[in-house]
Amino acid sequence: MAKEVIRQYLPLLEEEGRGAATGDDTGRDRHYLPELPDEDPYQAGHRTCAGCGPAIEYRWVLKAAGPDTVVAGPTGCMYVANSTYLCTPYTVPWAHTPIASGGSFTAGVAAGYEALIRKGRHPGPYPNIIVMAGDGSAADIGLGSISGALYRNHDALFICYDNECYANTGIQVSPTTPYAGMTTFTPFGKAIPEGKSLPPKNLAKMMAEGHPHCYVATTTVGYPVDLMNKTRKGLNHRGAAFMHCFTPCQKGWVYQTSMTVEIGRRVVEAGLFPVWEYDPAERTYHYFHPPVQRPVTDYLAMQGRFGHMLPEHIASIQIQANRNWQDIGMDVPAELREGEDPAAHLRLREETYSMPLNRGVGA
């Protein structure tokens, strides 16, 4: 007789008090974390760049998931920089997959564990099964295989760590590269002064709208507790879950290495990366309303990849941000409305912007 497949349950971490997102007035408490597990299934000693956003995301995700976890990683920085010959930073089983097949590989792992447990050939419980794919993989080359696995509802967590470029092969444009983001394939010049002229693909909304039975969430490395709780909710969800995590790439975006977490917050406060959860039971979106709303220049001016932007490019990003504020049910303050006019801006490299309160070393 088939054995029962027992699932794990991961309790949620405390988000109130100093663990919650705080504003400029109350201090940003970027380094405060609640009681966390001691285990670090993603250990130090890997070879990602200093300040690498995806490495921070990997660490929090695997800390939240714990030791009874199996991970897959399609080709990208987080495969190449993490696994040199005979050496990986993982203390849990980990597999590299081709860039196109993160979804199908993970579907196979999930179906395999179910079968082994039912047949009594694995004692269980069912492990946490996670794939962490870059944006080039999840939003582009491997999109079909991830969509297929979500559609078939395999019990696993599918994550896109989004550094808004094909980083590993030399910072090429990807579908999630923002408008005006400079990459080696979208240089600015006389013909196209903004660099990238297309808007980014809205991957997370595509996944939620297209797979309404799945748990879908967005988060950033600027909100570690939110990131870990969404990891746990995705794993606790019986069936397929998808999480889109904004992860700055220090090398590709050109900013001070200590600013990765700050940029992960500012993108939300600038209205450029809405943080939300989609609940498949109610079929509704729950939007996070940040305590601070900033002009987009507070975010853009921290990064060299936007340094070429002209006033009309900044205004067009502010228009997009203002639409996002309305979409998530927030008012647009007059100051941000004024930013829709190119006459309100200088060239980006001449703009002044507010620096973070908690400056890190070297900031």
Ligand X SMILES: Cc1ncc(C[n+]2csc(CCOP(=O)(O)OP(=O)(O)O)c2C)c(N)n1
Binding site for ligand X (CB under 6 A): 54, 75-78, 99-100, 134-137, 141, 163, 165-169, 174
The angle that helices 260-269 and 53-65 make with each other, rounded to 10 degrees, is 90
Our finding on whether 249 is near ligand SF4 (CB under 6 A) is yes
Our finding on whether 163 is near ligand SF4 (CB under 6 A) is yes
Our finding on whether 308 is near ligand SF4 (CB under 6 A) is no
How near is the Cβ of 214 to ligand X at its closest, in Å?
21
Name the 3-class secondary structure at 30.
Answer: coil
Which of 5, 20, 33, 49: binder of ligand SF4 (CB under 6 A)?
49
What is the residue-wise DSSP string for 183-234? BTTB---SS-TTS--SPPP-HHHHHHHH-TTSEEEEEETT-HHHHHHHHHHH
Rounded to an integer, what distance in angstroms lies between the CA atom of residue 290 and that of residue 334? 17
Rounded to an integer, what distance in angstroms lies between the CA atom of residue 293 and that of residue 170? 33
Residue 215's φ and ψ, nearest 5 degrees, are -75, 130
Our finding on whether 174 is near ligand SF4 (CB under 6 A) is no
Q: Which residue of this chain has its Cβ atom nearest to ligand X in the complex? A: 134
Answer whether 297's CB lies under 8 Å from 290's CB.
Answer: no
Residue 182, token pair as written in the block: 């400079």
Nearer to ligand X, 141 or 225 (CB): 141
How near is the Cβ of 14 to ligand SF4 at its closest, in Å?
29
How near is the Cβ of 274 to ligand SF4 at its closest, in Å?
23
Our finding on whether 59 is near ligand SF4 (CB under 6 A) is no
Residue 332 binds which entry of Mg ion, ligand X, ligand SF4, none, with Cβ cut-offs from 5 to 8 Å by kind? Answer: none
Nearer to ligand X, 165 or 240 (CB): 165
Count of residues that bind ligand SF4 according to CB under 6 A: 12
Our finding on whether 251 is near ligand SF4 (CB under 6 A) is yes
Residue 343, token pair as written in the block: 């006459």
CB under 6 A: which stretch of 48-56, 142-150, 176-184, 280-288 binds ligand SF4?
A: 48-56
Alpha carbon of residue 299 to chain centroid: 16
List, in sequence order, every residue forming a beta bridge with 172; answer none if it has no partner.
Answer: 166
Rounded to an integer, what distance in angstroms lies between the CA atom of residue 196 and that of residue 210? 27
Answer whether 148's CB lies under 8 Å from 104's CB.
Answer: yes
Q: For residue 328, which amino acid is it?
A: I
How near is the Cβ of 252 to ligand X at its closest, in Å?
8
Name the 3-class secondary structure at 7.
Answer: coil
CB under 6 A: which stretch of 2-10, 33-41, 49-57, 324-332 binds ligand SF4?
A: 49-57
Q: DSSP assignment, residue 257? A: G
Name the 3-class secondary structure at 112.
Answer: helix
Our finding on whether 264 is near ligand SF4 (CB under 6 A) is no
Which of 19, 41, 54, 142: binder of ligand SF4 (CB under 6 A)?
54
Nearer to ligand SF4, 48 or 219 (CB): 48
Q: Binding residues for Mg ion, per CB under 5 A? A: 134-136, 163, 167
Residues in contact with ligand SF4 by CB under 6 A are: 48-49, 52, 54, 77, 81, 163, 167, 249-252
